[in-house]
Every structure is written in structure tokens, then in C-alpha cells.
Amino acid sequence: MLDLNEIAMFVQVVRYGSFAEAARRLGVPANTLSRRIQQLEARLGTRLMQRSTRKLTLTGAGQAFHARCAGAVDGLLDASLELQDANQVPSGLVRVAATADFFEFFPMDWIAEFLARYPQVSLDFVLSDAKADLIAEQIDVAFRAGLLQDSAFVGRQLLGPRSDGLVASPAYLAARGAPTTLQDLVHHDCISSSHPSGHTTWRLSNPSGVEEEVQVSGRFSANTAQSLRKAALAGLGIVLLPPAMARLDVQSGLLVPVLPEYQRKSRGMSVVYPSRRQLPLAVSVFIDTFMEKLHGQDALLESPPLP
């Protein structure tokens, strides 16, 4: 007779793409998980997957077996989780991938409030501008800008597209003058993300909503938005910044709007996680908490970046 636990383990290994990741999420040793799958294969009399140090692939029999079993296993697990959730307390480690300057935008106070509310949860932030591999790096949830391209993952939009605006310091504009047309930017030092060519193309919408483009260059570039802001404050050139980042500096006079009739639609932000099913409660409450916090600040983020 087949062991339903072994079938459930097989489904989880397929879902997470490796024995190591499935073992981490199930809370069992990887060698135990491998042994149980081997026992399942012995009971079935066929090999379900090919294993290597780098890759795990299903055999034809494994694909067919997974297709027949996955839905039933998920249904059983969902039913049990519904009964458990009423008495369950969020706990465990949540690994979060985000951009290097994530906490320049999102207050650390939010994290302190979350950890105080859920004392059995720990957070491990992996901060980098490189795109994290959720499975290989054992990431539970990732914050990503722009359109979601990982169709295998689940995504929820946190922030819709915003209008970035051009700003510069008063000292820079006093020394170099203010551009009066978009093409005047060609003759200015423009601060932008790092690019091997040393040139960057900015595409901005004019007052009629028509997108125009200009190739800009400058003597300073960097790979985080906060570094670009600080360069502008130091008088190194003109920069495109999101509204939430530029607002206080403009209000205090440290930065000045440049060509305010031109705006660039930013890419928004989404939260991504490997699977909707069997989402750990700690991950679920973390996502819900951040969405609630952002909803509370939506009016600030939606308002025009420059007065």
C-alpha cells in the first residue's frame, strides 16, 4: 500500500525544485526526504525523478504521477491548514530579498512593530540590487520593481506606477544654468544608474502625454537610488527621482524641480513568493502587514512628486 506521506513529500520536492529546499520547508533532513522518495519509487516499481548535484528532473512516469497527485495533496493540506490556522501562531524564519537601499524607502520602525507583534518570527533581509533566485537562495518573499516576469511564482502588486521627476541642487543650477528643453539635458551632467557605455537614455512624457527620449551622460553614476539622490544633493548634476524620495528635499529647498512638465512613469513594486499553497503563516502575515502599511501611505506616494 502506498504511503500518503511519501506522496505528499514527492509533490513538495517537485514544487520547490530540490530536496534541500523541500526539506527546509517541511522541517525534515534532506537525506530523510530522499530516502522516503526512494521508498515510494520502490513501492511503485518505477523511477520518478533523475537526481544530480545540480538538477532534479522528472521522468515521464514522475510527470504523470505528479499531475495525478498534486491537486489531491494540495487539497488535503489546505483542508488541514484551515483547521489549524485558528489556533496557529506565526513563527519561524522569513527570508526576504529586497533592493540594497530598501530601508531608505521603508522605515525600520515597521520592522520593529512587526517583530513586537509576532515575537516568534525572525526576519533575515538579503539586500542586493541583483535579482534573487527565490529557490536557490531559499527566499520566502521578494520585493521587486517593475512587471512580474516569473510566471512560476505568485505576485501581488504593492505600488502601482509612479511619476518620477527631474531635480537638481540650487548650487548646480546656479553654476550651469537650468535647461529649458528636454534636449538641453545633453549639455548637462546627468546622474543615472551605472551603464558600461557611460550614456543613458531617459524616456519622459511631455505635457501632452507623448513620450520623448534624450541620451544623457554625466561624471557620476551608481546602482542605488539613494546614492543618486545624495549625488544630486552634492551638486553633481540632474537626476530622476521617485516622488517619495524627492519630496522632503524639494520642500526644504535642497533640491529644485527641473523641467517639471516632463515625467517618467516608474515601474511600481510587487511582492513575490514561490507558491500560494502552503504559504507559511509567518510569511503570510509579513506580506499582509507590509501591504497594510503601504496602503496607509498611499496618498503620500500617489501625490505629485514636485510642488
Q: Locate the domains of the chain by residue range.
A: 4-85, 92-161+268-302, 163-265
pLDDT at 283 over 80: yes
If you classify domain 4-85 with CATH, what class do you get? mainly alpha
Return the HEC string of 122-150.
Answer: EEEEEECCCCCCCCCCCCCEEEEECCCCC
pLDDT digits (tens, 9 = 90+) for 252-279: 999 999 999 998 876 667 788 776 556 7
pLDDT, greater one: 129 or 115: 115
pTM attached to this predicted model? 0.53
Q: For 43-87, how does the pLDDT look when each residue is reduced to its tens digit (9 = 90+)?
A: 888 998 887 666 788 888 888 888 888 888 777 766 665 555 544
Residue 154 pairs with which residues in a beta bridge? 273
Same fold, 92-161+268-302 and 163-265: yes
* Residues 6+ positions from 237 with CB-CB distance below 8 Å: 168, 172, 188, 189, 190, 191, 218, 219, 220, 231
Q: What contacts 109, CB < 8 A, 6 or more positions away?
A: none
Q: In 23-41, which positions are buried (b, 16+ CB within 10 angstroms) versus exposed (e)?
A: bbbbeeebeebbebbeebb
Report pLDDT digits (tens) over 163-193.
688 999 999 999 999 999 999 999 999 999 8
CATH number of this structure's domain 163-265, picked from the four choices 1.20.120.1770, 3.40.50.720, 3.40.228.10, 3.40.190.290: 3.40.190.290
CATH superfamily of 92-161+268-302: Periplasmic binding protein-like II (3.40.190.10)
d(CA 246, CA 229) in angstroms, rounded, equals: 8
Can you give the pLDDT at residue 149?
Answer: 57
Residue 73: predicted pLDDT:
78
Residues above pLDDT 70, as percent of the chain: 81
* Residue among 110, 164, 152, 141 at smallest CA distance from 272: 141
- The secondary structure element, H or E, covering residue 92 is strand 92-98
What pLDDT shows up at residue 225? 80
Alpha carbon distance 254, 235 (integer Å): 10
